[in-house]
Structure 1
Amino acid sequence: MDSINVYFLGFVFVALLAEIIWSTTKKKAVFNLKESVGNFGILVGNNLLKPLSLAWKYLVFDWVASFRFFEIPTGIFTIALTFLVTEFAYYWYHRLSHEVPVLWTLHHTHHSSIWMNLTTAVRLNWLGNFISPLFYIPLVLLGFSPEIIVTSLAVSLFFQFFLHTEAVGKLGFLEGIFFNTPSAHRVHHGSNEKYIDKNYGGMLILFDRLFGTYQKEEEKVKYGVTTGFLSHNPIVINFSPLLQFLKGSWKREKQRVREQGVNQLIRKQ
């Protein structure tokens, strides 16, 4: 496992270096030093919590596995099926993280950056890893292997890391068919009204097509959230939305946009 982590970090470092060289050569303002330092601060926090979050994940899955209705044998077909249903569960977890206000307080961390680069991929809420396993409990109850579920999520998250970039343009006929792409994920990070709550897929864009949440990249993406810049401080980025929710002053993006539209209409009248 240690060797896998070394290879992963090496691959990530090379990709990040390539993106920095690309942005410098093309004079693309996709990086902000303070923002990138803040993102890495969030990454450090998640790594410090990783032993605890992994222990929690396996504790939940092992406990639930004792109540499973079936036991699905492991084979090439069932591994592929497990990956597919895990992506399905991820789609709904991700979608609900935008649509349910308390979950949005956690996912907001990932979306509050107004820059799009590979460091944005590691901007993940510290509490999120303790909530996400709960959404895969139905799969374990149905007999899917917890180990393969966790592996499927790891593969998907590795793939998603490379979606957080402007260095890769649209991929022609590959857009919006089966796999997620950097273009589709740039849309997901947009605060443009037509981009909000779109393209929830992880490694696959398939379920967005099936459930009507796919949106292709048509206009320049305005990254971040509708309230604009939040902070470079990892603690503020992680906990400010949750505190606002507890104070009763928290709204999800779609609700905020609708209220802004109503207010503008009232002013015109």
Structure 2
Amino acid sequence: MRLIESIAPFYFVLILAEILYTYKYKLTFYSFRDSITDLSLGTLSRIADGVILLGIVFVYQVLQNSFSFGNFLPLSLVSSKSPISWVILFVLVDFLFYWAHRFAHEINLFWASHVVHHSSEEFNLSVALRQSFVRNLFIGIFYLPLAVFGFSAEAYLITDALNRTYQFWVHTRIIDRLPFWYELIFVTPSHHRVHHAVNPRYIDKNYGGVFIFWDRLFGTFEEEKEEPVYGVVKPLGTFQPIWAEVHVFSDLFRDFRLTKNKWEGFLGFFKPPGFRPSDLPAYPKPKPVSPYSFIKFYPKGKETNGFRFYIISQFIITALSSLIFIKTYGKWSHFEIFVFTYVIVFSFYSLGKALNSQTDVKRYETAKWIFWILIAGYLFI
């Protein structure tokens, strides 16, 4: 996590550079409301990351202490002091990421935690930060075999951070094709544009994080041949970050509640996306999309400079409050953690109301400010 936090400022510098580039050349790669949603989801994911990673590391260390056969392997293969072990670990992490990523598209429960990242109808560097608050819970499970091989938890966390860092820059439309040899081995922006697209030929392709040869090897590779249309097959249709986090979970639990065949409802969590119990109406088949006919979601509300200033200021206030919370929650009581988490989530929910230009936003914004005033009074008076 420390590596990610130290690199994070460079992410924002690159996002700003991409925004300025698109503005200079009049490219429509960014949407103000969508990017604020991306950043809000990135902030929400960081709140949960710490707690989830602590749990994953605890399980990792238990497995390493109890079941590791690393002591029977040459130190050059597993010791963090060996350069060869770092290369092996880097390749293994990406191999496991490929399968975690693939299952995240093929199993409903995992898709519910991954759909957040795909639900943007834009494709730019800010989308790279659009992550689920439970991402680490599901992807961390796939990394646990590394403990059995004897790799230290610290080495695993560093390598995972490097893997994520590589994946940031491939979320861009500015970079076209790269040299053939590079495209043959590594994931590139062209490959990842395919992965985020809902064109029929592109769906569920190019899962690799760093190396594209996994996709070539396991039959999930697709080359970029037509202009991608971004988003998900069932469009999200909102800039509400909280709903973006939970809408597939909501669908799964709703179907479990409605179906009379509870076993099918339970199995639905482990079926492919789009599955419904047999006694419920099937989801309508998605219509094929075309870059020439696809209409992106956008509310009718006016986007004045005053509106943008207010949205940016509210995001910054909430994001900074979240950062302070992340850095200090170890000193707080459980009740204080619960209250602060609730207020942060409520603040992002209210921000989503504003981004959607909903008529009841003033009521939520008023409640939000009352919450923050009460918290300020509690902390400083």
Is 1:168 the equivalent of 2:189?
no
Shift of 1:149: 1.7
Residue 126 of structure 1 is matched in structure 2 by 133
Residue 204 of structure 2 is matched in structure 1 by 197
**Per the alignment, do residues 59 and 69 of structure 1 end up closer, same or farther by CA in structure 2, a change over 3 Å counting?**
closer
Question: Structure 1 length normalisation: TM-score?
Answer: 0.89
Residue 252 of structure 1 is matched in structure 2 by 273
Shift of 1:147: 1.9
CA distance in 1, matches of 2:30, 2:105: 25
Backbone CA RMSD of aligned residues? 2.4
Q: Is the contact made by 1:199 and 1:213 (CA closer than 8 Å) also made in structure 2?
A: yes
Matches within 5 A, 1:199-214: 199-214=206-221
CA distance in 1, matches of 2:229, 2:106: 20
Matches within 5 A, 1:151-166: 151-166=158-173
Shift of 1:25: 1.7
Which consecutive residues of structure 1, in runs of 5 or more, have no partner in the other structure? 262-269
Residue 264 of structure 1 is matched in structure 2 by none
Q: Is the contact made by 1:118 and 1:165 (CA closer than 8 Å) also made in structure 2?
A: yes
1:193 match: secondary structure: coil
Shift of 1:48: 2.0
Q: Is the contact made by 2:233 and 2:286 (CA closer than 8 Å) also made in structure 1?
A: no
Shift of 1:175: 5.3
Q: Is the contact made by 2:105 and 2:204 (CA closer than 8 Å) also made in structure 1?
A: yes
Q: Is the contact made by 1:70 and 1:143 (CA closer than 8 Å) also made in structure 2?
A: yes
Runs of 4+ in 1 over 4 A off after TM superposition: 4-7, 253-261
Match of residue 188, structure 1, among 186, 192, 195: 195
Q: Is the contact made by 1:176 and 1:216 (CA closer than 8 Å) also made in structure 2?
A: no
What count of residue pairs does the alignment treat as equivalent?
Answer: 260
Which structure is larger by alpha-carbon Rg, 1 or 2?
A: 2
Q: Is the contact made by 2:31 and 2:122 (CA closer than 8 Å) also made in structure 1?
A: yes
Which consecutive residues of structure 2, in runs of 5 or more, have no partner in the other structure? 71-77, 257-267, 277-281, 288-381
Per-residue CA deviation, residues 49-94 of structure 1 (Å, 9 max, x unaligned), is 2321231221121111122331233311111101111111000000
Identical residues among aligned pairs (%):
30
Question: Structure 2 length normalisation: TM-score?
Answer: 0.64
Shift of 1:13: 2.1
Shift of 1:259: 4.7
Per-residue CA deviation, residues 74-124 of structure 1 (Å, 9 max, x unaligned), is 311111101111111000000000011111111111001000011100111
CA distance in 2, matches of 1:222, 1:201: 20
